[in-house]
Amino acid sequence: MSEKSNKKRNYTIAKIVVALCVVLCVVLTVFEMGFTYRMLKAAEVDGTEYSVAEYNWLYTNSLYEVYNNYYQSYGELAAYFINPQMPLDEQQYSEEETWADFIKDYTDSSLINITTLYNEAVANGFELEQRYYDNIDAEWEAMGVTAKANGVSANGYAEASYGKGVNEEVFRSMYERYYTAYTYAEQVRDSEEATSAEIDEYYSEHAEDFDSVSYKYYYIDGSAEEGEDAEATMKAAKDEAAEIVAGTKEVTFSEYDYSVKANISSLYADWLFDEARVAGDKEVFESETAVYVVEFVEKNDLHYNTVDVRHVLVAPEDSSNETAWQTALADAEKYKAEWEEMGATEEAFAEIAAKYSVDSSAVNGGLYENVFKGQMVDEFEDWCFDSARKAGDSDIVKTSYGYHIMYFCGEAEEFYSYAVEESIKDERYSEYVTALADEAELTELFGIRFGGKHYN
């Protein structure tokens, strides 16, 4: 081969290498921008393919749904079970699974449910109400405000919050699919009412799920410190308990209202639910290291009316800061005044709730229907179930969550009928969703290896 040919060949190779480098740089840039995650498919369910970005959106929602369930039960201690700020593959869910394994399985199940329910909704001509689109608009707008405060774009903040590839289009489409699926499912759930006979029969079979008691208890530590006589320490605890029962020693009891049997210690649950119990009964119960004095208050009547109420939650930015509480109160008073200037109607209150409330009920104009005793925090319920309460009443109530601007809509269904029928509907709903899911199959595609990795 001639020297001239070699030079030409080398020049051609050099051009190809440069071109490939340019293409590679473009690909890497696009990949970094998230475009690839929106194109690369992670999973397929019943013919519907989901991108890595869409999978990441659901994975993040699944994680925080699980975390919030723990948080509702354990507060800040939820982080001891699962900490979203730490790599999930370094946290054990069980001996066999990490939290990364569990959340992936949870996400896959949710993806099957969303897909099958969404397809059913479309097939049956179901249309999502405008208020859900308004809620998506509000969520994206709020994300934009937060993003701007942090000096990033809304899309950049969405990607940082939900995972690689998530942008406004993914955010909106997945929320629309999610709302459509579960709103349709709720419609199916509520479409068939239970008869009185069905309600009575179901209650008789599941009475322990509905019957509740109010009681008080006092805890006495009977564990011995190192070097102490264990028997003597326990005897002192028992003696103290005997004094309390006899009335010779006064203590402050912890109070629990509307507790079902499953939520009460097995040490004294049967005693509390014994038909022979009368108000004021006291009994002492022992564990290996503690003594409990339990006082029966009452077995709660299921036959009372629930209530419908609207509220606007104004939460302090920092619940440990008194100035933040004062600011929250000032805002609550301002919003209430704005509502009064609008005519102080229920419709106007719903507008104020949708505009200002930080509670999830904002999407429904702050409405909670069929509120029952034991469902809300004490201060909220005390206001709702005040015997003098009447439709149209409004006030500002403080709870540990913040200031609630309250609006009393009126009494609703009897708790007994409502609670039992809701359980029947829940059972039917579960059977319906499970039947659909059992007929579906999730197929993992190449991109699944990138799904959820932002938490690992």
CB atoms within 10 A of CB 337: 10
* Contact by Cβ (8 Å): 440, 330: no
> What are phi and psi for residue 286, nearest 5 degrees?
-120, 140
CA of residue 292 relative to chain centroid, distance = 33
The two three-digit tokens of residue 11, written as one number: 């020049």
Q: Mean pLDDT, 10 residues at a time, over the chain (456 residues)?
A: 44 40 39 80 97 97 94 86 93 95 97 97 96 92 94 94 95 97 93 94 96 96 90 95 96 94 96 97 96 97 96 96 97 98 97 95 94 94 96 97 98 96 93 93 96 87
> What are phi and psi for residue 451, nearest 5 degrees?
-75, 130
* Contact by Cβ (8 Å): 424, 202: yes
- List 307's β-bridge partners, or say none: 371, 411
Rounded Cα distance between 305 and 412, Å, is: 6
CB atoms within 10 A of CB 179: 20
The two three-digit tokens of residue 274, written as one number: 């014994």
Q: Which pLDDT score is estimated for 363?
A: 87
The 3-class SS string of 208-270 reads HHHCEEEEEEEEEECCCCCCCCHHHHHHHHHHHHHHHHHCCCCCCCEEEEEEEHHHCCCCCHH
Rounded Cα distance between 9 and 168, Å, is: 48
> What are phi and psi for residue 92, nearest 5 degrees?
-85, 125
Q: Which pLDDT score is estimated for 72?
A: 82
Length of the chain in terms of residues written: 456
CB atoms within 10 A of CB 407: 28
| Residue 357 per-residue DSSP state | -
Q: Which pLDDT score is estimated for 33?
A: 56
- Residues 182, 54, 147: CA angle, nearest 5 degrees: 100
Which of 424, 399, 5 lies closest to 195 in space, CA to CA?
424
Q: Which pLDDT score is estimated for 369?
A: 96
Q: Which pLDDT score is estimated for 228?
A: 85
* Contact by Cβ (8 Å): 425, 190: yes
What letter represents residue 440's amino acid?
A: A
> What are phi and psi for residue 81, nearest 5 degrees?
-90, -50
- Residues 288, 80, 83: CA angle, nearest 5 degrees: 165
The two three-digit tokens of residue 134, written as one number: 């308004």
- Helices 168-190 and 52-74, packing angle to 10 deg: 60
The two three-digit tokens of residue 331, written as one number: 């805002």
Which of 397, 332, 402, 409 lies closest to 371 in space, CA to CA?
409
Task: Tell the residue number behind the tokens 């006979």, with chain if given.
Answer: 197
Looking at beta carbons, which pairs linking 424-433 to residues 24 or more positions away fall under 8 Å?
424/194, 424/198, 424/199, 424/202, 425/189, 425/190, 425/192, 425/194, 426/189, 428/189, 428/192, 429/185, 429/188, 429/189, 432/185, 432/188, 432/189, 433/113, 433/116, 433/117, 433/185
Burial class for 232, CB neighbours closer than 10 Å (0-12, 13-18, 19+): exposed
Q: Which residues contact 388 (CB under 8 A, 6 or more apart)?
A: none
Rounded Cα distance between 363 and 229, Å, is: 60
Sheet holding 254-260, edge to edge: 254-260, 212-221, 290-299, 282-286
Rounded Cα distance between 33 and 287, Å, is: 59
Reported pTM: 0.69
Q: Which pLDDT score is estimated for 75?
A: 83
| Cα distance from N-terminal residue to C-terminal residue, the chain | 55
* Contact by Cβ (8 Å): 450, 163: no
